[in-house]
Amino acid sequence: MRVLWVVNQCIPVIAKHLNIEVPNKEGWLTGLSEKLIAEKDNDLTLGIAFNAGFEDGRYKGEYEVTAYGYDDDLSVPEEYDESLEYRFKEIIEDFKPDVIHIFGTEYPHTLAVCKAAPDTSKVLIGIQGLCSVYADHYFDGLPEEMYVKETFRDRIKSDNIVKQQAKFVKRGELEIEAIKLAKNVTGRTSWDKKYTSEYNPDAKYYFMNETLRSNFYEGKWKLETCEKHSLFASQGDYPIKGLHVLLRALPEIKKYYPDVKLYVAGNKITGEDSLKKKILIGTYGRYINKLIKDGDLSDNVVFLGSLSADKMKERYLKSNAFISPSMMENSPNSLGEAMLLSMPVISSDVGGVRDLMSEEEGFIYPSLDEKALVDSVKKCFELNGSDTQKEMCEKAGAKARITHNPDTNFKRLLEIYECISK
């Protein structure tokens, strides 16, 4: 069976072969590809089309994986480029796949693949997030004044908060069009099943959980070696991730825990690195800076920048708790990684979060309820060293090892491919 993956970015096994930088994002894809390549007892031949930033031919690496480059300008993900259809027709004709598995719907190349495929009954779309739903929540928790404010960067790029939300709307329209064309969808939560079924009631929905990065399946959080009263958020570079709500709640948390520390990974948006970045700060980054200043939080918030898988794991283990304050998510893999490490976890009650965990395994609060967020963090810290905390962490780890079991998920993936290829 020949399976073509269409992914947003290069995966490590291909990146190393081509001597290009190994990406840190979408670690679950790394975990799945490592499992697939290591598994020899199957008749699957894998091809991978990734956004190389250029169109190029095929690469054959040491793992017997054929890779293809395509060029999708991710700086304008709301714009559809018809030329991508021709590139994907070339790739499909060359590789001759029995199944085409597209990972994610957030970028326009998903629609291009669906239009290029000669038989959409062989196309499988894997749902990650859904821009069409995120657009409805882009302004959640933001003050109305931000809708009219602009920074110098926003003006020269024509990219203020309102326009950013409008781009999500356009991306959502392309996303829905792609889902309507595909005959097969794979998801992992009741949330993504609900929306994809609305968009295309005729598509077959296959349930399959995510396999995460391999390094998170080893190691375990210990209270004794963590930084007490510290929180770790894996992202915060745009409003959907909810950093603004967390920062508004942090001064109240600080009243009870003056030493509280929030570490934030991902793209830095606060302009702290250089004068140039300060000049090019966006409206959301400026608002984040205002919250830090007004809340007297300069000594309590640390922006880490992009981290490798190993550095991410190190930061999880050093933190007292992981927190996901998002305005909307499907099932955040960062939450799954934290649960795999059996550490205390806190999450907003959005999207498919409850498909990942219950109150027995972590703290869940309404996404816009700052008081509930504060209470969740306080309760989490109050439990430090208690039997209740140990039990919650053990349950979180046990749940995650079932949800993210590589063998189970790999077997399920092969079952799905078999069904579609017939």
What pLDDT score was predicted for residue 67? 86
∠ CA(80), CA(83), CA(89), 5° rounding?
A: 115
* pLDDT tens digits along 306-360: 998 899 999 999 999 999 999 999 999 999 999 999 999 999 999 999 999 999 9
Residue 367's pLDDT band, with cuts at 50, 70 and 90, is very high
Is 63 a residue whose pLDDT tops 70? no
Are 115 and 84 within 8 A, CB to CB? no
Q: Tell me the CATH number for domain 215-403.
A: 3.40.50.2000
d(CA 139, CA 127) in angstroms, rounded, equals 23
What pLDDT score was predicted for residue 56? 65
Is 39 a residue whose pLDDT tops 90? no
The model's pTM is: 0.91
What pLDDT score was predicted for residue 66? 85
* pLDDT tens digits along 190-211: 999 999 999 999 999 999 999 9
By DSSP bridging, strand 99-103 and strand 301-305 are unpaired
Count of residues for the chain?
A: 422
Architecture field, domain 2-211+405-421:
3-Layer(aba) Sandwich (3.40)
Are 129 and 350 within 8 A, CB to CB? no
* pLDDT tens digits along 76-125: 999 999 999 999 999 999 999 999 999 999 999 999 999 999 999 999 99
Mean pLDDT of 33-60: 74
By DSSP bridging, strand 363-365 and strand 99-103 are unpaired
Are 319 and 344 within 8 A, CB to CB? no
Tell me, yes or no, if the two domains 2-211+405-421 and 215-403 fold the same way: yes
* pLDDT tens digits along 394-408: 999 999 999 999 999
Residue-range domain boundaries for the chain:
2-211+405-421, 215-403
Residue 62's pLDDT band, with cuts at 50, 70 and 90, is low
| DSSP string across 72-87 | --TTSTTS--THHHHH
End-to-end CA distance of the chain: 10
What pLDDT score was predicted for residue 28? 59
Mean pLDDT of the chain: 91
Higher pLDDT, 97 or 277: 97
